[in-house]
Amino acid sequence: MFEKLSSAIKTITTTVNQRTLKEDDITKILTEFELALIECDISPIIVENLVKKVKETVTGTKIDRSIDIELHLIEHLKNVVKQILNEAKSLDFFKVINEKKNSGNLFSIVFLGINGTGKTTTISKIGKLLKDNGFSVVLAAADTHRAGAIEQLTEHAERLSLKVITQSYGADPSAVARDAILYAKSHKIDVVLIDTAGRMQTSKNLMDEMTKIIRVIKPDLKIFVGDALMGSDAVSQAKEFSEYTDFDAAILTKIDADAKGGAALSIISVTGKPIIFLGIGQEYENLIPFDINNFVSVIFEVE
């Protein structure tokens, strides 16, 4: 997934042959690194910040002759990227749900994002994940705009043996979400997962409708679902949704489909919100926790 970035790192390590890294040489080398970062769909603003931090960290470094220059530089680069990723507030998904459950209260999650990101499938994956971990779950089909959306979520619910709350198309999404909350409370359900209409971040009316759902339901978590293949578009969507909804965390889908990975770093940098899961396929089991160390290891894997 990160061939361009790995290639740039290789260029850095093969170009440097001196034991004290001078600013002029680092600047020339980082130009290649910068281009590779942009080609990996990392936001230019983030790239500028990252390159600046790398230069500050590496320039003037004295390297003992017994130390491998390649490993030395890669370690510095890894640390800078980890620093950026760790700036986002962490979120322990199961811990926050368990805390609410142990207090005898319902936990609600609203999922946000535009059409085509795999939001409905992601909700189903989360439903299965929660069910497999001992939580009772109900789904809310609050996307009452997109044709087929209610049927799609209902089909997933049937496959997973989960209850889904629906109304007719054109119904108030807030009413659907509220019905699901009431059902869950009366049936002592642990978690409600609320689907919402995929909307373009530039549509003010639809964004206002989404904020209404949040205002009415007051969810415990607001999760943005972004498509890793959309690159910089996913980043702009995340930024806009963050401004409108102040979402708590993100899930990136389609990581398995040759995504370059830059969207993850950019979304965290732009919004300050953590990525908690990655979608790596269409099956319900194809959802993995986002692990910073693993992510950085993949980025800096140089053959």
H or E element in which residue 224 lies: strand 221-227
Question: Is the pLDDT at 235 greater than 70, yes or no?
Answer: yes
pLDDT band at 10 (very low <50, low <70, confident <90, very high): low
- Would you say residue 302 lies in a domain? no
State whether 164 and 44 are in the same domain: no
Count of domains for the chain? 2
- Would you say residue 40 lies in a domain? yes
Helices assigned H by DSSP within the chain: 3-15, 23-39, 44-58, 69-85, 93-102, 119-132, 149-160, 173-186, 204-217, 232-245, 262-271, 292-299
State whether 33 and 100 are in the same domain: no
- Would you say residue 136 lies in a domain? yes
State whether 248 and 139 are in the same domain: yes
| pLDDT tens per residue, range 111-161 | 999 888 889 999 999 999 999 999 999 999 999 988 899 999 999 999 999
State whether 248 and 148 are in the same domain: yes
pLDDT recorded at residue 8: 56
State whether 101 and 151 are in the same domain: yes
Q: How far apart are CA 271 and CA 276, in angstroms?
A: 14
| pLDDT tens per residue, range 34-58 | 777 777 767 777 778 777 877 777 7
Q: How far apart are CA 47 and CA 35, in angstroms?
A: 9
Beta bridge partners of 226: 252
Would you state the structure tokens that stand for residue 292, as one six-digit string? 């910073």
Of 290 and 71, which is predicted with more confidence?
A: 290
Q: Kindly give, in sequence order, each residue whose CB lies less than 8 Å from that of residue 153, ignoring residues fewer than 6 positions away.
A: 120, 123, 124, 139, 141, 143, 164, 166, 195
State whether 277 and 207 are in the same domain: yes
State whether 117 and 223 are in the same domain: yes
Q: Kindly give, in sequence order, each residue whose CB lies less than 8 Å from that of residue 276, ignoring residues fewer than 6 positions away.
A: 91, 93, 223, 249, 250, 251, 289, 290
- Would you say residue 159 lies in a domain? yes
Strands 249-253 and 275-279, how do they pair?
Answer: parallel
- Would you say residue 301 lies in a domain? no
Half-sphere exposure of 18 (CA within 13 A, CB side): 11
Listed residues 61, 85, 109: the one ending a domain: 85
- Would you say residue 297 lies in a domain? no
| pLDDT tens per residue, range 236-291 | 888 888 988 999 999 999 887 655 667 788 888 889 999 999 999 889 999 999 99
Whether residue 8 contacts residue 29, with contact meaning beta carbons closer than 8 Å, is answered with no
What residues make up the domain containing 165? 93-291
pLDDT recorded at residue 47: 79
State whether 196 and 273 are in the same domain: yes
Listed residues 69, 85, 101: the one ending a domain: 85
The enclosing domain of 16 has a CATH number of: 1.20.120.140
Q: Is 188 left (phi over 0), alpha (psi -120 to 50) or beta?
A: left
Listed residues 45, 66, 85: the one ending a domain: 85
- Would you say residue 303 lies in a domain? no
State whether 81 and 98 are in the same domain: no
